[in-house]
């Protein structure tokens, strides 16, 4: 049997995870979220297989300078049918919350539990992941 005809499938123990860092300054929310999901799932790798987790870690910096539509009002809903406090009043956690919700909305429920642990969001330039030597990506 010729070894060239075999398809490589990574096993569950095949952990070759990279760390990527993305600067969110002047980036649109939807385009950024789709690219982050692609990195978390590992879809950009040549040996991607849907049933095997080969995703990477993602660090998002400068999340407070991401582009939102200013004319749309965002609400945090505590009780269905009753609007809660406005998200724009929560200045510190607002960008992190919106980015997490956008990424979670593109993942299934089981994928969310697995992949959201690999997403790190910071509001400024500083992050504690210098030891992992993250690869800078410009979208």
List pLDDT tens digits, range 68-109.
Answer: 776 655 555 556 666 655 555 555 567 888 889 899 999 999
Residue the block writes with tokens 């002047």: 26
- The more confident residue out of 46 and 126 is 126
Residues 26 and 69 sit within 8 Å (Cβ to Cβ): no
Task: State the Cα–Cα distance between residues 37 and 136, nearest whole angstrom.
Answer: 16
Task: State the pLDDT at residue 86.
Answer: 53
Nearest to 65 by CA among 37, 32, 43: 32
Query: Which class for 63: exposed (0-12), middle (13-18), buried (19 or more C-beta within 10 A)?
Result: buried
Residue spans per domain, the chain: 16-67+92-137
- The more confident residue out of 113 and 75 is 113
List pLDDT tens digits, range 30-46.
Answer: 999 999 999 999 999 88
Sheet containing 135-137: give its strands across.
119-121, 57-61, 19-23, 135-137
State in words which class domain 16-67+92-137 has. Answer: alpha beta
Cα–Cα distances (Å) from 82 to 25, 75, 76, 77, 124, in that order, read 33, 10, 10, 7, 33
């Amino acid at each position: 049997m010729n070894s060239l005809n075999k398809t490589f499938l990574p096993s569950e123990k095949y952990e070759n995870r990279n760390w990527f860092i993305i600067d969110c300054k002047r980036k649109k929310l939807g385009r950024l979220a789709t690219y982050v999901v692609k990195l978390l799932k590992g879809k950009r790798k040549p040996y991607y297989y849907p049933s095997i987790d080969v995703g990477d870690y993602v660090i998002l910096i400068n999340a407070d300078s991401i582009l939102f539509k200013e004319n749309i009002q965002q609400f945090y809903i505590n009780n269905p049918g009753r609007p809660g406090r406005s998200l724009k009043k929560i200045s510190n956690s607002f960008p992190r919350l919106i980015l997490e919700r956008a990424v979670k909305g593109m993942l299934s429920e089981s994928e969310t539990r697995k992949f959201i642990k690999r997403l790190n969001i910071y509001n400024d330039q500083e992050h504690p992941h210098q030891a992992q030597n993250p690869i800078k990506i410009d979208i």
